[in-house]
Structure 1
């Protein structure tokens, strides 16, 4: 679920937008009137969406964009004159006057992009440390010497044992190394 925060200097406008979004199935975690409130809401979030106007009591949207985490997207709702200057990464724009169906569709589009990025990041293979890579190479080398097999076969053996036992690859490599060293002593 993508968390959404609504920021407009007038509380009534922010609440109306929140109500529209909630009725359309979005998870709105906050209604704010200052940039500082948004930063507080989003500080623990790696990703999300801030729907906002151009100017607030304590800053304008460009300052807020600089303070937010890189993967938090922003949907700027402003007059056409303000939107012409908007060329920031992760900032989308909608012109005023705002039409409800356009807002809902634009939010749906941005939330889909964020969700897709979350899934992609989740399925990205974990980067191994240098020590872990050295351990894998050492265990493969031991297996190759002891069993007279190729490096691919040794790697496949470690993977197969890891999957069959439900243990991570590195943990399995440690276990194999211990057993090989124990048997050779």
Structure 2
């Protein structure tokens, strides 16, 4: 689930946008009426989309945008004259008067993009530390020496054992070294 923060200076506007989003299947995590509330909510949640207006009593949208954590995106809902030509490339803007379908489809697209990005980051292999890489290399060298394998064959063997046993390659390398060094 992705977090959605609704932030407008008028509480009534924020409530209306929240109701529209909830009727269309979105979960609204926070409703804010000031820039500082919005930034605090974004920091607590860490990632998601801020749907906001242009001006608040304490900040404008640009200041809020600059304070958002890296996992947050902004959907600015304002008159085109208030933001034309002055928004960062990764900020999405919707002009007033607002059409419900435009809001719903735009927010849906932004949430899909965030979900894909999160999934891509999750699926990236973790960087191995130097010690872990050395352990795998030692296990390969033992296999090459003892079983007369090439380095590629030893690597594939460790990979296959790792996949078969459901452990990572470092744990498999440790098991191989402990079995061979007994």
TM-score range, shorter chain: over 0.9
Q: Secondary structure at the match of 1:93?
A: strand
- 8 Å Cα contact 1:71/1:90 also seen in 2: no
- 8 Å Cα contact 1:144/1:154 also seen in 2: yes
Match in the other structure for 2:28? 28
- 8 Å Cα contact 1:34/1:58 also seen in 2: yes
Q: Secondary structure at the match of 1:28?
A: coil
Moved over 3 A (4+): none
What runs of 5+ residues in structure 2 fail to find an aligned partner? none
Q: For each residue in 1:19-42, what CA deviation from the matched residue of structure 2 results, as whole angstroms up to 9, or x when unmatched?
A: 100111111101100121122222
Q: Secondary structure at the match of 2:28?
A: strand
CA RMSD of aligned residues (A): 1.3
Q: How far off its partner does 1:135 sit?
A: 1.3
* In 2, Cα distance between equivalents of 1:77 and 1:167: 48
* In 2, Cα distance between equivalents of 1:111 and 1:85: 24
- 8 Å Cα contact 1:72/1:90 also seen in 2: no
Q: How far off its partner does 1:89 sit?
A: 4.2
What runs of 5+ residues in structure 1 fail to find an aligned partner? none
Distance 1:50 1:126, change over 3 A: same
Q: Secondary structure at the match of 1:73?
A: strand
- 8 Å Cα contact 1:6/1:50 also seen in 2: yes
* In 2, Cα distance between equivalents of 1:135 and 1:121: 25
* In 2, Cα distance between equivalents of 1:174 and 1:75: 49
Q: Secondary structure at the match of 2:88?
A: coil
Match in the other structure for 1:138? 138
Single out whichever of 111-120 and 23-32 deviates more from structure 2.
Answer: 111-120
Q: How does 1:53-68 map to 2 (within 5 A)?
A: 53-68=53-68
Q: How far off its partner does 1:77 sit?
A: 0.9
Q: TM-score by structure 1 length?
A: 0.92
Match in the other structure for 1:125? 125
